Amino acid sequence: MKEGDKQKFIESYDTYAESIFRYCYLRVHDRERARELMQETFTKTWEYLVAGKSIDSLKSFLYKVAHNLSVNEVVRHKSVSLDELEETVGFEPKDEERASPEEDTEISLLLSKMKELSPKDQELLSLRFMSGLAISEMSEILGEKPNTITVRVKRALEELREKIKPQ
């Protein structure tokens, strides 16, 4: 492996660390654990590469690894309910970026309503709107056809809209 490849990998960390962290956070709802999972995503990917295997799209591969690690994490901690997570962990914006109470209420409402969706739908919305992934990238990560992803994202978004609509 060339020295330049190491540099490329570190550049990839600088590019994707934030969005992988966000993706993990929205799956496990725990900031510290999300940081660990983000780091593990990069070290696992590095292990894969040094084993002599090649990767076509590093971005998609990183999300695939993060997806698998998060699924394992959620299964491991299944005994903790989502409601419990919301109460104990809650929404944790950085102190210096704290929004107005109204904005925080809106965001908390959105997050709590998102948790009422199926885990698959939560993941779809998170990948599409929080990670900003293209449909083609989501298709590669989740192993489903682009049309299926499009329809499911649209449905999940509609369902979420219905849930947050004032009664």
Partner 1 sequence: MKDIESQFKDIKSKITLSSAEKDFHRGEIMNFMEAHPAKPAASIKSPFFTWGQFLQRHYALAAFMLLILGGTGVLTSANGAKPGDALFGVKVNMLERARIVLSFDQASKTSLEVKFIDERLKEFAEWSTNEDASPEEVATLSNTLASQILKVHDDIAVLRDNQDLDGALVAASDLQSTLAAHAEVLGQIDPKEASVDVVNSITDTVEDSLLLTKGIVDSVAGEMTSSVDDAISSETVDTKQQEVSETIENISKDIIEDSTNLDSNDKETIQDSLDNIAGLLSEADIKNKRGSSTEAFILSTQADQEANKLRISIEAEQQFGINSVDDSEGDTPPQQE
Residue ranges binding partner 1 (CB under 8 A): 1, 5-6, 8-18, 21-22, 25-26, 35, 38-39, 42-43, 46-47, 49-59, 93-94, 97, 99, 103, 106-107, 110-111, 125, 129-130, 132, 134-136, 146-147, 150, 157, 160-161, 164, 166
What distance in Å separates the CA atoms of residue 63 and residue 69, rounded to the nearest whole number?
Answer: 10
Q: What are the CA-CA distances from residue 140 to residues 1, 34, 157 (Å)? A: 26, 23, 21
Q: Shortest distance, CB of residue 164 to partner 1, whole angstroms?
A: 7
Taking each helix axis from N to C terminus, what angle separates 3-28 and 58-76, rounded to the nearest 10 degrees? 40
Q: Shortest distance, CB of residue 101 to partner 1, whole angstroms?
A: 13
Nearer to partner 1, 74 or 157 (CB): 157
Nearer to partner 1, 119 or 132 (CB): 132
Q: Shortest distance, CB of residue 25 to partner 1, whole angstroms?
A: 5
Q: Shortest distance, CB of residue 56 to partner 1, whole angstroms?
A: 6
Q: Which long-range contacts (CB under 8 A, 24 or more apart) does 153-162 make?
A: 153/124, 153/125, 153/128, 155/121, 156/117, 156/121, 156/122, 156/124, 156/125, 157/125, 159/117, 159/121, 160/110, 160/113, 160/114, 160/117, 160/125
Q: Shortest distance, CB of residue 42 to partner 1, whole angstroms?
A: 5
Nearer to partner 1, 79 or 162 (CB): 162
